[in-house]
Amino acid sequence: MLFPVFCIIQLLSLAQHGWAEEEFQWTQTERGSFYYGTFPPTFTWGVGTSAYQTEGAWDQDGKGKSIWDVFTHKKGKVFMNQTADSSCEGYNKVKEDLELLKELKVSHYRLSISWPRLIPTGIKAENVNEKGIKYYNDLINVLLENKITPVVTLYQWDLPQTLQEKFGGWQNISMVTYFNDYANLCFEKFGDRVKYWITFSNPWSVAVEGYETGEHAPGLRLRGTGAYKAAHHLLKAHARTWHTYNKYWRGKHKGMVGISLTTEWGEPVDISSQKDIEAAERFVQFNFGWFANPLYNGDYPQIMKEYIGNIQQGLGMSRLPTFSSQEKGFMKGTCDFLGVGHFTTRYITSRNFPFTQGPSFFTDRDLIELVDPKWPEPESKWLYSVPWGFRRLLNFVKTQYGNPMVLITENGISEKMHCAQLCDEWRIQYFKGYINEMLKAIKDGVHIQGYTAWSLMDKFEWDEGYSERFGLYFVEFKSKSKPRYPKASVQFYKKIIRANGFPNFREVENWHRISTETCSTTNQLLAADPLTRHMEMVTEIVVPTVCTLCILISAVLLMILLRRQS
Ligand X SMILES: *[C@@H]1O[C@H](CO)[C@@H](O)[C@H](O)[C@H]1NC(C)=O
| Contact pattern for ligand X over residues 35 through 74, marking x by CB under 6 A | ----------------------------------------
User: Is the CB of 81 or the CB of 146 nearer to ligand X?
Assistant: 81
354 contributes a contact to ligand X by CB under 6 A = no
Beta-strand pair 44-48/37-38: unpaired
Which residue spans within 412-556 are E strands per DSSP? 448-454, 473-475, 484-486, 501-502
Closest of 563, 422, 454 to residue 112, by C-alpha: 454
Rounded Cα gap, residues 434 and 489, in angstroms: 14
174 contributes a contact to ligand X by CB under 6 A = yes
- Please tell me whether residue 438 adopts helix, strand or coil conformation: helix
Least separation in angstroms between residue 230's CB and ligand X is: 11
User: Is the CB of 85 or the CB of 517 nearer to ligand X?
Assistant: 85
Is 327 in the active site?
no
80 contributes a contact to ligand X by CB under 6 A = yes
Least separation in angstroms between residue 175's CB and ligand X is: 9
Residues between 403 and 422 with contacts to ligand X, criterion CB under 6 A: none
- The total of other beta-carbon atoms located within 10 Å of residue 299's CB is 16
Q: CA–CA distance from 491 to each of 457, 502, 518 (Å)?
A: 14, 14, 8
Q: CA–CA distance from 403 to each of 406, 525, 536 (Å)?
A: 8, 48, 55
User: Is the CB of 223 or the CB of 346 nearer to ligand X?
Assistant: 223
* Residues near 363 by beta carbon (within 8 Å), at least 6 away in sequence: 224, 355, 357
Closest of 457, 519, 481, 526 to residue 100, by C-alpha: 457
Least separation in angstroms between residue 138's CB and ligand X is: 36
Contacting residue, 167, 248, 330, 426, with ligand X by CB under 6 A: 167
Contacting residue, 81, 146, 322, 504, with ligand X by CB under 6 A: 81
Least separation in angstroms between residue 78's CB and ligand X is: 9
467 contributes a contact to ligand X by CB under 6 A = no
Closest of 214, 120, 118, 208 to residue 160, by C-alpha: 120
* Residues near 402 by beta carbon (within 8 Å), at least 6 away in sequence: 296
User: Is the CB of 25 or the CB of 177 nearer to ligand X?
Assistant: 177
225 contributes a contact to ligand X by CB under 6 A = no
User: Is the CB of 76 or the CB of 316 nearer to ligand X?
Assistant: 76
Contacting residue, 2, 33, 75, 353, with ligand X by CB under 6 A: 75
Least separation in angstroms between residue 327's CB and ligand X is: 17
172 contributes a contact to ligand X by CB under 6 A = yes
User: Is the CB of 273 or the CB of 467 nearer to ligand X?
Assistant: 467
User: Is the CB of 76 or the CB of 314 nearer to ligand X?
Assistant: 76
DSSP string covering 296-349: HHSS--HHHHHHTTTTTTT-SS-SS----HHHHHHHTT--SSEEEE---EEEEE
Residues between 503 and 532 with contacts to ligand X, criterion CB under 6 A: none
Catalytic-labelled residue, pool 278, 379, 410, 464: 410
Phi and psi based region of residue 89 (left: phi greater than 0; alpha: psi -120 to 50; beta: remaining) = left
Contacting residue, 171, 411, 414, 489, with ligand X by CB under 6 A: 171
166 contributes a contact to ligand X by CB under 6 A = yes
141 contributes a contact to ligand X by CB under 6 A = no
DSSP string covering 99-145: HHHHHHT-SEEEEE--HHHHSTTS-TTT---HHHHHHHHHHHHHHHH
76 contributes a contact to ligand X by CB under 6 A = yes
**Contact present, 422 and 485 (Cβ < 8 Å):** yes
Binding window for ligand X (CB under 6 A); candidates: 164-172, 318-326, 331-339, 541-549: 164-172
Which residues in this chain contact ligand X in the complex, by CB under 6 A? 75-76, 80-81, 166-168, 171-172, 174
Cite the active site residues: 410
